[in-house]
């Protein structure tokens, strides 16, 4: 069972006068409602502990009135508030916990997935973004020493851990840690970095509200696309589907590696972007694409989506053929597509059907593939 602890007991002093930032309006409702809803709606989060300032218990009643939400009273520091949330979770049956700042209201489901996925192999995982700007030390308003930014990251939340391990680390820590990764590190826990998100920034200064409002205004950009492709059988002893070579008594004919599955997926993304199809970007008349491994097309399509500020929410692929049998290879295909698209495997569907012996697929003349994708603004 995976739980989330959302720490919301700070006073938001840097965000300017008025209510503490978690109670101020963002997109027409309290800021706190955004991350709370995102975690509650996430299919892999079973329970949420909301850590609140003692003065806010009354205000919070409406937000906490759900069977999957518990409330804990926060402490003087972020670290004390996290500890209170973890203690409230202990004995509740959770074995993994994601610790999140309420002050990062625009966290998204795909980022949460990346943290949870990384916990399969790591004791701790946290999102971060590489530092892309030059780093200077200030020296009385002038540029002082120039620091090397190589290998530096900007840390975000949610930071995810196995519950027993992080709770023990917090209990043993003297205090003063900047975040839970720092607490974990002091206990020798290894932390995997997963890709963060620019929209998952922390509301700290007054102007950060305007930035979050602007993102929310454009956030509802959701696009769907469909792709369809067919390749005929020809001589050979294997077919390549989703990048996986599958033994067969025939091969597939094509200009590239004839991976009909990845072609349908790439076309679905191009379709969602109104960017034509593979042929427009990689003309079959151009000899340089002969024999190309089709992940190149899919990566290109996904790259165009990223350039438009869109991320892939899910993909759904159906292969239509009598032979070869797809099901024994479906897991490998899902893994491969998830890897190419840097997507959780839970957001990739690969399935197959026969055409009941009818038509060209029924006559075993080739394989057809159809795909749909959903792109969402980041
Ligand atoms: N005693 C505290 C202090 C901070 N936090 C939470 O920890 C996160 C840290 O983000 P930050 O921007 O430092 O929040 P504040 O402490 O509220 O802001 P400020 O430092 O400007 O007062 C926030 O979600 C905040 O609510 C908390 O739960 N308990
Ligand atoms: C935990 C954190 O969000 C990681 O970036 C951050 O350190 C918390 O905010 P603060 O301003 O350091 O309190």
Instruction: Give the model's pLDDT for residue 307.
Output: 80
- Residue range 313-337: mean pLDDT, rounded: 97
**How far apart are the C-alpha atoms of 354 and 360, rounded to whole Å?**
11
Atom of ligand 2 nearest to the CA of 101: 3
**Cβ–Cβ under 8 Å, residues 86 and 161:** no
Asked whether residue 229 is marked as a ligand-binding residue, the answer is yes
Atom of ligand 2 nearest to the CA of 204: 11
Ligand 1 center–CA 209 separation, angstroms: 16
Q: For residue 198, what are its two tokens?
A: 């620019």
Instruction: Give the model's pLDDT for residue 64.
Output: 83
pLDDT digits (tens, 9 = 90+) for 41-53: 898 999 999 999 9
Q: Which ligand is nearest to the CA of 159?
A: 2
**How far apart are the C-alpha atoms of 155 and 163, rounded to whole Å?**
20
Asked whether residue 263 is marked as a ligand-binding residue, the answer is yes
Q: For residue 249, what are its two tokens?
A: 């008594």
Which 3 state secondary structure label does DSSP give 368? Answer: strand
The residue among 8 and 377 whose pLDDT is bigger is: 8
- Residue range 131-145: mean pLDDT, rounded: 96
Q: What is the mean pLDDT of the chain?
A: 95
Domains and their CATH numbers in the chain: 2-219 (3.90.550.10), 222-377 (3.30.1330.50)
Instruction: Give the model's pLDDT for residue 317.
Output: 98
- Residue range 293-302: mean pLDDT, rounded: 97
Nearest CA owner, ligand 2 atom 12: 178
Phi, psi (degrees; rounded to nearest 5) at 91: 75, 5
Nearest CA owner, ligand 1 atom 25: 10
Give the residue from 9, 34, 193 showing the smallest Cα distance to 109: 34
Ligand 1 center–CA 14 separation, angstroms: 10
- Residue 5, pLDDT > 90, answer yes
Which 3 state secondary structure label does DSSP give 168? Answer: helix
- Residue 40, pLDDT > 80, answer yes
**Number of neighbours of residue 299 by Cβ within 10 angstroms:** 15
Decide whether any atom of ligand 1 lies within 6 Å of the 186 Cβ. Answer: no
Its ipTM equals: 0.95
Instruction: Give the model's pLDDT for residue 61.
Output: 80
Give the residue from 187, 6, 174, 167 showing the smallest Cα distance to 91: 167
Asked whether residue 355 is marked as a ligand-binding residue, the answer is yes
Asked whether residue 281 is marked as a ligand-binding residue, the answer is no
Ligand 2 center–CA 178 separation, angstroms: 6
- Residue range 249-273: mean pLDDT, rounded: 97
pLDDT digits (tens, 9 = 90+) for 247-260: 999 999 999 999 99
- Residue range 169-198: mean pLDDT, rounded: 97
- Per DSSP, 90 falls in state T
Q: Percent of the chain, pLDDT > 90?
A: 89
Nearest CA owner, ligand 1 atom 12: 204
pLDDT digits (tens, 9 = 90+) for 78-134: 999 999 999 999 888 899 999 999 999 999 999 999 999 999 999 999 999 999 999
- Residue range 64-78: mean pLDDT, rounded: 93
Residues whose beta carbon lies within 6 Å of some atom of ligand 2: 78, 101, 155-157, 178-179, 202
Atom of ligand 1 nearest to the CA of 75: 1
Give the residue from 192, 163, 11 showing the smallest Cα distance to 83: 163
Asked whether residue 231 is marked as a ligand-binding residue, the answer is yes
Instruction: Give the model's pLDDT for residue 41.
Output: 84
Ligand 2 center–CA 183 separation, angstroms: 13
- Per DSSP, 148 falls in state P
Instruction: Give the model's pLDDT for residue 58.
Output: 87
Instruction: Give the model's pLDDT for residue 378.
Output: 61
Pair type for strands 159-162 and 96-101? antiparallel
* pLDDT grade for 65, boundaries at 50, 70 and 90: confident
pLDDT digits (tens, 9 = 90+) for 27-36: 888 999 999 9
């Amino acid at each position: 069972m995976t739980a989330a602890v959302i720490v919301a007991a700070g006073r938001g002093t840097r965000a300017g006068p008025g209510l503490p930032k978690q109670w101020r309006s963002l997109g027409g409702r309290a800021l706190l409602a955004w991350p709370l809803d995102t975690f509650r709606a996430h299919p892999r989060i079973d329970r949420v502990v909301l850590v609140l300032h003692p003065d806010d218990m009354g205000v919070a009643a409406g937000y906490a009135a759900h069977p999957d939400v518990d409330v804990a009273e926060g402490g003087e520091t972020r670290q004390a508030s996290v500890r209170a949330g973890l203690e409230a979770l202990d004995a509740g049956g959770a074995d993994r916990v994601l610790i999140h700042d309420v002050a990062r209201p625009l966290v998204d489901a795909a980022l949460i997935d990346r943290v949870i996925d990384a916990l399969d192999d790591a004791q701790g995982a946290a999102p971060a973004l590489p530092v892309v700007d030059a780093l200077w030390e200030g020296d009385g308003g002038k540029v002082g020493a120039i620091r090397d930014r190589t290998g530096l990251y900007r840390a975000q939340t949610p930071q995810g851990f196995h519950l027993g391990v992080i709770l023990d680390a917090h209990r043993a820590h003297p205090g003063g840690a900047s975040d839970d990764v720092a607490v974990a590190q002091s206990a020798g826990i290894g932390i995997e970095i997963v890709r963060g998100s620019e929209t998952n920034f922390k509301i700290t200064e007054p102007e950060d509200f305007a930035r979050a409002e602007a993102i929310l205004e454009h956030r509802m950009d959701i696009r769907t696309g469909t792709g369809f492709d067919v390749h005929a059988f020809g001589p050979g002893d294997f077919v390549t589907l989703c990048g996986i070579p599958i033994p067969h008594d025939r091969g597939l004919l094509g200009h590239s590696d004839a991976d009909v599955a990845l072609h349908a997926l790439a076309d679905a993304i191009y379709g969602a972007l109104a960017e034509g199809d593979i042929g427009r970007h990689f003309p079959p008349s151009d000899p340089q694409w002969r024999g190309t491994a089709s992940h190149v097309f899919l990566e290109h399509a996904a790259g165009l989506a990223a350039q438009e500020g869109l991320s892939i929410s899910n993909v759904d692929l159906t292969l239509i053929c009598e032979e070869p049998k797809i099901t024994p290879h479906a897991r490998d295909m899902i893994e491969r597509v998830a890897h190419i698209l840097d997507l959780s495997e839970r957001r990739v569907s690969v399935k197959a059907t026969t055409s009941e012996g009818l038509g060209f697929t029924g006559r075993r003349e080739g394989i057809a593939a159809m795909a749909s994708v959903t792109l969402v603004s980041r």
